[in-house]
Structure 1
C-alpha cells in the first residue's frame, strides 16, 4: 500500500483513477441510499444489466459505448418504472424479462460488430486505471446533475420513498417523481460503470448505503456516510490492488462486501446484547444485577 501512495504522486493515471473512484462514491452514496431505503435493488439491477443493449448498439454503429449506455439506462428506467406502476402482479417476471432482453440485444449487436471489442471488456468488468480525462468531466457533470435535482426535490423524493399513499394525499405527483428517481438511479449506474463495470455495479450502488443504514436513520446522514464509505472502499481497493496487479473493480466490491458482512454481524450482535439486557432489567425490576 505504501508503494501505491508513492506512485500516486508520480503517475497521472493513478490520480485519475482515484478521482474517478471519489466521483463515483458521490453518486453511489446519494442514489444508493434511495435504492436501499425504497428497496428497489432488483429494479436497479434490471436497469444496470439492460444497459448492455445500448452499449452494444452504440459499438455497432460506431458511437461511444457510454453514450449508448446513458440512453439505454434512461429508457430502461422509464420502462421498468412503468411496469412496476402498472403491472404489480407480474412485476418481478416482467422486469426479469426486460433485464434478459436488454442483455441479449447487447450480445447480438456485439457479435455483429467487427473485431475484438477490448473497450467493451472494460465497461463490463471495469477498468478504473484507464479512465480518460473526458470521462472524468462526464462523471463530474453527472454528479452535478444528480446533486442539483436531489437538492431541489429532496422533500418530494423523501415522501415517495417512505409513503407513496401519503405523498398522493399531499398532492405530490408520485408517478412523476418515482420515474424521475429511477432515471437518476440509471444515471448513477452509468456513473459507476467505469469504476467497477456493468457486472458489479449493483453491489457498489447498494452496499455502502446498506452499511450506513446500520448506524444512522436520517436519510441525509445516511447519504453522507454512504458517500464517505464509498470513497474509502474505492481508495483502499485501488491501493490494495496496485501491488499484486489485481483487477481494481473486483477488489473494491470484495472490500465493500466484507465491510457489509462485518457490519451486519456487529449490529446483529449488538441488538442481541441489548435485547438480553432489557430482559434482565425487566426481570430484576430495573435494578442493577450483581
Structure 2
C-alpha cells in the first residue's frame, strides 16, 4: 500500500464521474437507509447485493451493460423478498437462501470471464475508475427516480415502517408499500455496487442511518444527518482513494464506521447526562 498525491489534480479530473456518482449515491443511500433501519432490513441489503453482483458479473461475461445487469439482479432479488417475505421470519430465510446462490452464481460468471482481473475485483470491492460518463447518466437517472418515488410515498411508508399494525388498520396498503420499497432498495443497491462493490454496500445503505439514529430521533434531522453522513463517507473515501493503491471501499467503510463510532459516543454521553438530571433533582428535593 502506498499514497502518492503528487498528480492529484490530474487524477481527480479523470475520476470526476466516480466522485459525482459517489455523492449522489451517498445522498440516496443515506435517505433510503433510514427506512432500512426502521423496517429492520439490514440483512436484506446484503442479500440483494449478492444477486446484484451476480447480475453485474453475468453482464460482464456476455459483454452487456454492467449497470443493467446489476439492476436486473437487484430487482429480481427485491421482488422475491418483497412478495414472499412479508413476515420477518420468512424474509430472513429467503434472504439466507438467496445470498449464497447469488454469490456462487456471480463467482461462476467471474471465473468464466476472460477479461482483466481488475474488472472482476471491482464488482466485489469497488474501483476508482468503475464509473465512466456513459454509466453516470444511468446511475444518476436511477437515483433521481428512486428519490422521486421515495418522496411520493414518504408519509405512508414512514407510518407503515414505524407502526405497521396501526397503519394496516388505518387502510395503508402495507403489502404494496413493502414491494415498492423493496424495488427502490434494489435499484439503490444496484447503482451502489458500481462504486463500493457488492461485499461492502452496507456502508452506504445502513451505517449512515444507524449513526444518525444514535444522535437524533427527529423525523427531519435523522434523514438529513443520514444523507450528510453518506455523502461524507462516499465522497471522502473516493477523494482519499485517488492517491492510494487500494480500492475505494476500505476508505468509504472506514469513514462511515468512524462516523458511527463518534455518533455512538455522542449518544452514550447524552444518555448519561440525561440519567444524571433525575438523580440531581431527587437529591435537591
TM-based fold match above 0.5: yes
The alignment partner of 2:70 has SS state of helix
Change in 2 beyond 3 A, CA 1:257/1:179:
same
Change in 2 beyond 3 A, CA 1:160/1:109:
same
Partner of 2:35: 34
Change in 2 beyond 3 A, CA 1:99/1:239:
same
Partner of 2:253: 253
Kindly report which structure 2 residues correspond to 1:157-236, keeping only aligned pairs within 5 A, or say none: 157-236=157-236
1:133-167 CA distance string (max 9 Å, x none): 02211121012101110121111211221111222
For residues 77 and 94 of structure 1, the distance between their equivalents in structure 2, rounded to whole angstroms, comes to 11
For residues 135 and 6 of structure 2, the distance between their equivalents in structure 1, rounded to whole angstroms, comes to 23
The alignment partner of 2:74 has SS state of helix
Contact 2:53–2:193 at 8 Å: present in 1 too? Answer: no
Q: Which runs of 5+ in 1 are unaligned?
A: 286-290
1:31-79 CA distance string (max 9 Å, x none): 1111112211011111112222222332333312221110110110111
Kindly report which structure 2 residues correspond to 1:1-290, keeping only aligned pairs within 5 A, or say none: 7-8=8-9, 11-85=12-86, 88-285=88-285
Aligned residues: 282
- Relative to the length of structure 1, the TM-score reads 0.88
Q: CA deviation at 1:5?
A: 11
Change in 2 beyond 3 A, CA 1:84/1:148:
same
1:77-131 CA distance string (max 9 Å, x none): 1111233216x44543332111111111222233334445532321211113342
For residues 276 and 99 of structure 1, the distance between their equivalents in structure 2, rounded to whole angstroms, comes to 46
Q: CA deviation at 1:19?
A: 1.0
Change in 2 beyond 3 A, CA 1:114/1:151:
same
For residues 204 and 65 of structure 2, the distance between their equivalents in structure 1, rounded to whole angstroms, comes to 24
Q: Which runs of 5+ in 2 are unaligned?
A: none
Contact 2:32–2:205 at 8 Å: present in 1 too? Answer: yes
Change in 2 beyond 3 A, CA 1:110/1:179:
same
1:255-286 CA distance string (max 9 Å, x none): 1111111221221122113202321222321x
The alignment partner of 2:200 has SS state of helix
1:183-202 CA distance string (max 9 Å, x none): 11111111211221111101
| Cα RMSD after superposing both structures | 2.3
Change in 2 beyond 3 A, CA 1:89/1:24:
closer
The alignment partner of 1:131 has SS state of coil
Partner of 1:288: none
For residues 93 and 264 of structure 2, the distance between their equivalents in structure 1, rounded to whole angstroms, comes to 30
